[in-house]
Amino acid sequence: MTERGREHGDTAPSDVEIRRLVHELQVHKVELKAQNEELRASYQELEAARARYFDLFDMAPVGYCVVRGDGRILEANFTMARLLGVARAALIGQPLSRFVVPDCRELYLRRHEQHSALRVPDTLELEMQRADGTSLWVRMEVSTAQDLDGTPVCRSVLLDITERRRAEEQRQDIEARYAELVARISNGVAIYRAVDDGADFVFVDINPAGERLSVIKREDVLGRRLVDVFPGAAVLGLVDMLRRVWRTGTAESLPTTLYRDARIEHWVENTVYRLPSGEVAAVYDDVTEVRAAEQRIVGFSRQLLAAREDERRHLATVLHHELGSLSVGVSARLDAATEQLVDRDIQGVQLSLDSCSAMLRDTVGRLKTIALDLRPPDLELLGLSAALRQHLARVSGDTELRIQFTDALGALALDEATTIALFRIGQEALTNVVRHAGASSVKVRLSAVPAGVCLSVQDDGCGFDPDGALDRLEGNMGLITIRETALSLRGVAEVQS
């Protein structure tokens, strides 16, 4: 090559230069291949990360959304869209507060402003509204972050807690009803917590009826041990029963038992339950008055049996006397008539037979009187008013009593049980007047009243102290019979004097 050619750059590369260039190309090829592999690996990692993002964000079982500082939704996953009942695309750009019910909206906006400014995590529970108008409760957990351009955003996780809220509301409603029931129930209710592995129990609560029945104040017993408040509880068997119920969960009842300590003495009934909380509840009642009433009833029953036996004895005596006298008298007259017939004393026979007939008529009259006392026929045939009127007339005829009867029953129809009971009450009341009052006049009134029927017997006699008369057996069997008969009709007997 000439010098001129060299000057114009036409010089051919040397072998050294060619080998150097080939080497550089090979190095660049290797580098490009390595970079290509790195790019391919990065792409694969990016695709895997995108899939994981889709699984973790879009398909997550909880709602996810990203909210800008102005409160508008920047991103939302499919679960968020399903919770609110709208398409995911329709959520983007919408204010999240739009889906919060008005009652909770102010709270949400205030808390959003706070954690956007302070950039601190926050948790709150809100009631939200779906697109179809139905509501749901969510637990929202908010954290702050930055978008790709550095803009602050809020990332929110929404968990549907509607069922939990409903269960809580139901529980609160049940607890409120339970508290109202316990507060108003007439039985005493005491709640205990086991201590020392059930060796003893301390008061957790007691209702107003329990305070009244036990003559204690709630604030004086809370936290105290049962045996410190009621020393006789162990002897009563209550502590043992509380322990068994606490361990087994099976409710038990304690029969009517006399509780006694230095402070109170009364008959009580106890039923013990174990509560879901593990505490035990004792429901109890003071049955002292019931016990006393039962004793009175037992005494009354004995007196009533004795009275019935006296009546049977009296009836037997009357029948024996009347029928015995009749049989003796008739037998004597017939014997005389027989002798007179033998002697052909016709006039004497006639007189003897007339005497027998008179004796029979008198005895039949007496037996009719006894039958009327036992069961007046007019009571069934003509009714209560007519039977009372007949009985009063007979009593007035046998005594010097002036009896005034007023029938104001009207068209009120009475059943057989009521009719008989009212007749017996009137009969017993009038008997008491005759025997004990020393009265000269009596007013008897039978009338219809709004509650049913009223029978009143009023006399002008000496009177007596009516206080407790219906509760004392001795000397008051007539009044007690009247009261028990009225009670059998779900009525009431009143005594005024």
Per-residue model confidence as pLDDT tens digits over 232-274: 888 888 999 999 999 999 999 988 888 988 888 889 999 999 9
pLDDT at 10 over 50: yes
Higher pLDDT, 391 or 205: 205
Half-sphere exposure of 440 (CA within 13 A, CB side): 0
Partnered with residue 127 across adjacent β-strands are: 137
Q: Which amino acid is at 466?
A: P
| 3-state SS class at 138 | strand
Please state, in angstroms and rounded to a whole number, the distance separating the CA atoms of residues 153 and 119.
9
Per-residue model confidence as pLDDT tens digits over 64-114: 999 988 899 998 998 999 999 999 899 999 999 999 999 999 999 999 888
Nearest to 405 by CA among 443, 376, 434, 457: 443
Please state, in angstroms and rounded to a whole number, the distance separating the CA atoms of residues 205 and 208.
10
Exposure string over 177-188, b if 16+ CB within 10 A, otherwise e: eeeeebeeeebb
Query: Quick one: average pLDDT of 304-322?
Result: 66
Instruction: Pick the most confident of 163-172, 311-320, 405-414.
Output: 163-172
Per-residue model confidence as pLDDT tens digits over 154-194: 889 999 999 999 998 888 888 788 778 778 888 999 999 99
Q: What is the pTM of this model?
A: 0.45
Q: Which amino acid is at 440?
A: S
Per-residue model confidence as pLDDT tens digits over 418-474: 888 888 888 888 888 888 888 888 888 988 888 888 888 888 888 776 665 555 545
Per-residue model confidence as pLDDT tens digits over 30-46: 778 878 778 777 766 76
Q: Which two tokens stand for residue 243?
A: 């322990």
Nearest to 69 by CA among 150, 170, 168, 12: 150
pLDDT, position 250? 94
Please state, in angstroms and rounded to a whole number, the distance separating the CA atoms of residues 414 and 422.
10
Query: Quick one: average pLDDT of 399-410?
Result: 85
